[in-house]
Amino acid sequence: MKTLPLAAALAFGVALPAAALDMTNLTDSEREAFRAEVRTYLLENPEVLMEAISVLEQRNQEAQADNDVALVQANAADLFDVETDWVGGNPEGDVTIVEFVDYRCGYCRKAYPEVNQLIEDDGEIRLILKEFPILGEQSVLSTRVALATRNAFGDDAYGRMHDALITLRGEVNDESIRSLAADLDLDGDKILAGMSAPEVDAVIAENHALAQRLQISGTPTFVVGDQLLRGYLPYDGMKHVVEQVREADG
């Protein structure tokens, strides 16, 4: 495996002086002897290799977390203070969760009831939804329906349409859009007419640009405080993060 020489060097680097790892100063026979010693040691003590890999992974995770904090801080205004974003939960809450969501994403659908339950149980969470369609035409159509609904009928209608779209099992087409609208006492034709509006295009483009700056490539992605949570996180995990953010801000 290509990772073995690097991992071995890491394992030995903590015990050997820097000059001992300078292979350029060794003769061919010394170099071969050193490699043989490393190989023998790792074969006899494979746990050292696993420990070195674990340390490397931990350092990478810490570097990623630090980078994420910097990204969130640099893009805070576009995350937390955009007028075109829908705000749910408690608008005056002390912790904000931003969710990048795709209606056709299975893990977004799995997270949906748990996020709602957390907001209900907590009572002090402000939720911001970022429409981020990345899974094809059906994702884009779903987002256009949601944004057109908000433009035509306001925030309450958007919230109800969001709930309907995230739980929709069939395809999104003219017929299903009219059916969803009728169930919500909305004008489906007005929604259809507004799906290609420049305002809808602008929100989608802005959210994709923001996601690119934040190095987000999948859904769901959550921003809580200055933390980026990439992927689905169960209820208990999300609750723990919220508590951590409160403690840090407290």
Average of per-residue pLDDT across 131-158: 98
Helix, strand or coil, per DSSP, at residue 11:
helix
Domain boundary among 68, 98, 125: 68
Helix, strand or coil, per DSSP, at residue 1:
coil
Is 202 found in the same domain as 147? yes
Average of per-residue pLDDT across 29-34: 81
pLDDT digit string, tens, across residues 185-232: 999 999 999 999 999 999 999 999 999 999 999 999 999 999 999 999
Query: Which band of pLDDT confidence, cut at 50, 70 and 90, is reported for residue 104?
Result: very high
Is 162 found in the same domain as 86? yes
Is 106 found in the same domain as 17? no
Q: Do the Cβ atoms of 95 and 224 come closer than 8 Å?
A: yes
* Residue written as token pair 């056709």: 104
Amino acid 62: pLDDT: 61
Amino acid 7: pLDDT: 46
Residues paired with 229 in a beta bridge: 222
Is 147 found in the same domain as 244? yes
Percent helix, strand, coil in the chain (nearest 5)? Answer: 65, 10, 25
Domain boundary among 35, 68, 101: 68
Can you give the CATH number for the domain in which 177 is found? 3.40.30.10
Is 9 found in the same domain as 112? no
Q: Of 248, 240, 88, give the one whose Cα is nearest residue 158.
A: 88
Is 89 found in the same domain as 11? no
Domain boundary among 68, 95, 121: 68
Q: What percent of the chain has pLDDT over 90?
A: 71
Is the pLDDT assigned to residue 167 strictly greater than 70?
Answer: yes
How many structural domains is the chain composed of?
A: 2
Is the pLDDT assigned to residue 241 strictly greater than 90?
Answer: yes
Element (H, E) at 149: helix 137-153
Distance in angstroms (rounded) separating the CA atoms of residues 80 and 93:
13
Give the residue numbers spanning the domain of 80. 76-249
Is 83 found in the same domain as 25? no
Is 150 found in the same domain as 44? no
DSSP per position, 54-74: HHHHHHHHHHHHHHHHHHHHH
- DSSP structure class, residue 97: E
What the block records as the tokens of 70 is 């910097």
Is 80 found in the same domain as 61? no
Average of per-residue pLDDT across 110-130: 97
Is 144 found in the same domain as 245? yes
Which of 21-25, 87-91, 185-189 comes out lowest in average pLDDT? 21-25
Q: What is the pTM of this model?
A: 0.76
Is 214 found in the same domain as 109? yes
Is 30 found in the same domain as 130? no
